[in-house]
């Protein structure tokens, strides 16, 4: 798994690559939580290069959404491949998140 961070004004864009599973979810959680705890209130996560997500990976985003809610922050997810979107749909997580077709739309939704 590879995670890249980009700041666009007051929005933090996180680009994911590879897999988020039981072996990598702790690293993803540490990075994403530290971004939120640093004071970021607008978070966009781009799934364009993510090939796989497990329930451990879903948990990371649920925790991020809960933490952002406490600080009146927002999160948007973008660029999900069909099989990743299916995981979100089947788990009911699609109802919890704003999911947009690309990172540009997700960033625009935060402005």
Provide the number of structural domains found in the chain: 1
* Environment class of 101 (CB within 10 Å of its CB; exposed 0-12, middle 13-18, buried 19+): exposed
Angle between helices 55-70 and 82-91 (to 10 degrees): 70
Tens of pLDDT, residue by residue, the chain (111 residues)? 999 999 999 999 999 999 999 999 999 999 999 999 999 999 999 999 999 999 999 999 999 999 999 999 999 999 999 999 999 999 999 999 999 999 999 999 999
Domain that holds residue 71: 2-110
**104: CATH:** 3.30.750.24
């Amino acid at each position: 798994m590879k995670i890249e961070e980009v700041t666009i004004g007051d929005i933090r864009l996180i680009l994911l690559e590879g897999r988020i599973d039981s072996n990598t979810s702790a690293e993803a959680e540490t990075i994403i939580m530290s971004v939120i705890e640093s004071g970021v209130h607008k978070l966009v996560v781009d799934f364009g290069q993510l090939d796989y997500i497990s329930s451990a990976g879903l948990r990371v985003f649920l925790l991020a959404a809960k933490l952002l809610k406490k600080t009146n922050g927002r999160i948007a997810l973008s660029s999900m491949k069909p099989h990743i979107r299916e995981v979100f749909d089947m788990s009911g997580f699609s109802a919890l998140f704003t999911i947009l077709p690309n990172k540009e739309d997700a960033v625009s939704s935060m402005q």
